[in-house]
Structures are given as C-alpha cells and as structure tokens.
Amino acid sequence: MAEKSAVIFGAEGFIGGYLLSHLEGRGISTTAASLGPIPTAQRVPGAHYARNCDVTDARRVDTVLRRARPNYIYHLAAISLPTISWKEPWKTLEVNIRGTLNVLESARRLGTDPRVFVACSSAEYGHGHRPAMPTAETAPLLPLHAYGVSKVAQDLLSYQYFVNYGVKTVRGRIFNTIGPGKTGEVTSDIARQLVAIERGARPAVVRIGNMRPIRDFTDVRDMVRAIAAITERGRPGEVYNLASGRECSVRQVLQQLIGLSRKKATWKLDRARLRPADEAYIVGDARRLKEATNWAPEFDLARTLHDVIEAFRHAP
C-alpha cells in the first residue's frame, strides 16, 4: 500500500503542532507549511517543512501542494483569535478568506483528488446558539465579530468548491480547544497568572473577565484525533461540529484552576478583559461527528487543566 501524505497549512499554530505529531505518529508523511518558524518543541523527526508559506500568496500555496501532492490537506492557517478581529477586522477577513480561496484553488488544480479539511469555527453560530441546548450543524449562522464572519465565508467557500468543482472538502466547526501550550484564551490566561503567583511575581489575585459564559472545552489531543478522523472518514461536502458536548462555565474553570494552585489565590473582575459581545452559551452537538467516526474524547477537563498549569510551571 502506497504511503499516505498530508500538508498542514498553519502548522506552527497550537492545533497544527499537535496535528503534525499525530499524523506522523500514524505513519502519514506530512509537510508542515508555516508562515514563521515552527518552535523546536513542535518539530517532529521525519516531517517535511515548508517555511515562509503565507496562505495569502497563491503562488506559494500552489508550490507547496505541487511538491507534496498530498492525499490530505489540512487548512488551519488563519488569524484565529476573536480578540484580534475586534482590532483588525479587515486583516482578519483578508487572511482568512483569501487564504482559504488560495488553498481551494490549488487543491482544485492539483489533479490528485485530495481530501481537504477546512478549519471552521463555533464562532460562526454567534446568536444562533440557543441557551441550555447544544448547537447542531443546522443552527443559523449569526456571528458576532469579524472573526466569526470570516469563518462563515471559509465554510461556505468550501461547500461551493465541493458543489461546483468536486473538491472533497470536509468542514469542521471547531469548538473551544485547550491544552498545554495554548495561549490567548481564558484557561491559559488564568493558569499563567496562577503560576506567576506561585513564583511570587504578582499579587495573589487572578484578574478575570466575564465568568458567566458556558463553553464546550475539548483537549487539543482529542481534537486532532477528531480532525484526522473526520478528514479521512467524513462525507465530502459535509460540515461537522468538532466538540466534546460537555458544558462548563468560565467560573467553574477558574475555580478548578485556583484549586490546583500551590498558593492560595482569589480573583477580581477586570473590566478591561470584557469583550464588546460575548456568546453566553457555546456547546456543540457532536452526534454527526461521532456517528461518522466513532470518535469520543479521552481527556476529561480536570486532566486537561492539570496539564495546562503544569506546562506553565515548566516554562521559563
């Protein structure tokens, strides 16, 4: 049997690094395409590396794919933080939409009939989330920020390329993904502050924004298994929620992490951390994913939060 191969765009990112390790561990020859250098800790022996790959550069994307001629394309490259999209909405739209279009165009012309995973987002639902009810893929798409809008565009472009050109796209709406190495979101922000408190580098007070939102947290090590499984076994043209289906409030996360601290700490509301708009309830209905792949999460939240704070303790 011929060796399978893959290309990951955005391999220097949080999910991309874990996905690279997962694919290579399964014997899939993988090209890690990145805009900047991949951290040493994320580099995997045997993998191929394509530096300076700006997905908004159509020629560079085309070159990477023509050299690798992969069976699977994982498009993860994006401006991926809603907080950045508040400050730079146009850049968010340009990178995420133009980058997706370039990947899809190159895949269409490649001639190898690859499967193309496009990383979409739970942020697409926005006000389409209904309180106390897990969100299914059929919910309306009503995003609340430019990041969510850009993900809707990626999502629908991927569907269009399947319908019009037969590109085997699989769309994964990724819900909150956390784990060791993540930065720029609530679990890592709390853990980072607690480790600084343990080291005596700051007062024993965790500064926190809105604690009311309820989220669906999935460990990144589970998420990359879901991404690989749905890319290989999902139905082309279809969209899937990639989520654990378990709900947890930000307040509960804060309490669990404070409970893991080696020094007593309290918390204080920091209004500077409040967003202009914040979805109250984001929990995914992942039945479609589970029916297609038999995937189930292996890491519970307690284990993930333990590993997150331990990662900060071992960081310089």
- Between CA 153 and CA 237 the distance in angstroms is 15
Task: State pLDDT tens for residues 16-56.
Answer: 999 999 999 999 999 999 998 888 878 898 899 999 999 99
Task: State pLDDT tens for residues 150-164.
Answer: 999 999 999 999 999
Which is more confidently placed, 85 or 177? Answer: 177
- Between CA 152 and CA 67 the distance in angstroms is 30
pLDDT confidence bin for 294, thresholds 50/70/90: very high
Please say if the pLDDT value at position 86 is more than 80: yes
Please say if the pLDDT value at position 76 is more than 80: yes
Contact 219, 174 (CB under 8 A): no
Contact 111, 47 (CB under 8 A): no
Domains along the sequence of the chain with CATH: 5-177+218-245+285-293 (3.40.50.720), 186-214+247-282+300-313 (3.90.25.10)
Taking each helix axis from N to C end, the angle separating 14-25 and 220-233, rounded to the nearest 10 degrees, works out to 60
Specify burial of residue 200 (Cβ count, 10 A radius: 0-12, 13-18, 19+).
exposed
**What was the pLDDT predicted at 81?**
79
- Residue 41: CB atoms within 10 A of its CB come to 8
Task: State pLDDT tens for residues 253-274.
Answer: 999 999 999 999 999 999 988 8
**What was the pLDDT predicted at 85?**
85
* Mean pLDDT across 204-227: 96
Mean pLDDT (the chain) is 94
Please say if the pLDDT value at position 66 is more than 80: yes
Task: State pLDDT tens for residues 96-147.
Answer: 999 999 999 999 999 999 999 999 999 999 877 777 789 999 999 999 899 9
Taking each helix axis from N to C end, the angle separating 301-313 and 186-198, rounded to the nearest 10 degrees, works out to 50
* Mean pLDDT across 282-288: 96
**What was the pLDDT predicted at 1?**
55
pLDDT confidence bin for 3, thresholds 50/70/90: confident
